Amino acid sequence: MNILRRLPLSRLLLLCTLVVAVGVSATALASALGSSPTPAPAPLPVAVHDALAAPPVDGVSASVKLTNHLLEGANLASGGGEASQLSSSPLLSGASGRLWIAKDGRVRLELQAERGDTQLLYDGHTLKLYDASTNTLYQYAVPSHEGSGETDSDAAQDSARTHEPPSVDKIEEAISHLQQHAHVSGALPTDVAGQPAYTVRISPNEGGSLLGAVELSWDAVRGVPLRAAVYSSSSSAPVIELAASSISYGAVDGSVFDFTPPPGVKVEDVRASREGGDGSERTAGEHPKLTTHGHGVSTIAVLESKSGTGSKAPSSPLPAGSPKVNLGGLSASELATPLGTLLSFERSGVTYLLAGSVTPSSIEAVARGL
């Protein structure tokens, strides 16, 4: 290493450049020689059938990367408070991490971030989300099947054991129905996380929507999903993508799914609202009213509900600090993303929430007509 220390800076930089150039050239050559594993071409119905019919794996351990540009440009960070907290979450800003899936259906996703890791866990009974930046644990008890003593996980395993995968003809028929509304690519041979894989891309036939396409890649041998991505109609890069960068198959140690939050954690139980469940149900005239404008993928949904007079809940269902827009003298909260727009305002004791995979101008035009 002494010789490197005696080299002039200019020659040292040149040497580094040469090393990088050789590395890039070697990578390009390996790619050109087809060193990456790719499966043989196959019709989409056959590739899907083989994936569904593949024997179940004993478990999955993977390094993953979550890309999420959904809130980029939404100007949430400047709003402070809840909006800023949302925009900094690894789930909404993207992160690298690890994923484990056990044969019995237990799942753990760990996303790494500077302000602390985000943990997502599911054990067949309860879905848990831990946010280290706020030391908060959110819990949701997944409802079990009514009248049955088995859990959703048990039912899923029973279903896998007793139900045969659909035939190639049935899959081809389903794809044919889907093609009436969307363009469906073939099974494109590729490789993901070092595994031979197929990718299918589905894009709507109808225009006027911000939804461009969705892609799904799966292991051609084992049928395990390896990548999912959602694209905007205005960009060739995915807005949201979860992809494995490396993966291994085999039993996962049960201790991986043990999670104990640190002291002082704040626990928030998330409950699905049920009519008549707690004595605070609405009367028939107070049920939210849902209407739609337009059709197909460019449909705009409008939800009207009575504002909770005296309630501590915010009048807008959007995060506090969301950008404001003016609707003819009426202030509204608006969240514009590459995949769609949410808009909320209150008028005469009624809260309106509009949502659609359309531009802000389209949402605002409908809002002004309400």
Q: How many Å apart are CA 28 and CA 33, to the nearest integer?
A: 9
| Range name among 150-154, 295-299, 317-321 with the lowest pLDDT average | 150-154
Q: Residue 330 falls within a domain, yes or no?
A: yes
b/e code 166-189 from CB counts within 10 Å (16+ = b): bebeebbeebeeeeeeeeeeebbb
Residue 23's pLDDT band (boundaries 50, 70, 90)?
A: very low
Q: Residue 308 falls within a domain, yes or no?
A: yes
Count the Cβ atoms, other than its own, within 10 Å of residue 102: 21
Whether residues 109 and 176 share a domain: the answer is yes
How many separate domains does the chain show? 2
Q: Residue 289 falls within a domain, yes or no?
A: yes
Write the pLDDT tens digit of every residue in 206-258.
Answer: 888 999 999 999 999 999 999 999 999 988 999 999 999 999 999 999 999 99
Write the pLDDT tens digit of every residue in 44-67.
Answer: 999 999 999 999 999 999 999 999
Tell me the average pLDDT of the chain.
81
Q: How many Å apart are CA 241 and CA 65, to the nearest integer?
A: 8
**Domain range spanning residue 349?**
285-368
**CATH code of the domain covering residue 226:** 2.50.20.10
Supply the pTM of this predicted model. Answer: 0.77
Is pLDDT above 90 for 1? no
Whether residues 91 and 240 share a domain: the answer is yes
Q: Residue 118 falls within a domain, yes or no?
A: yes
Q: How many Å apart are CA 219 and CA 189, to the nearest integer?
A: 10
Q: How many Å apart are CA 187 and CA 171, to the nearest integer?
A: 13
328 Cβ neighbours under 8 A, 6+ residues apart: 368
* Mean pLDDT of the region 337-349: 92
Write the pLDDT tens digit of every residue in 81-132.
Answer: 555 566 667 887 889 999 999 999 999 999 988 777 899 999 999 999 998 8
Higher pLDDT, 3 or 238: 238
Whether residues 204 and 251 share a domain: the answer is yes
| Range name among 46-50, 148-152, 232-236, 290-294 with the lowest pLDDT average | 148-152
For the chain, the C-alpha Rg in angstroms (whole number) is 25
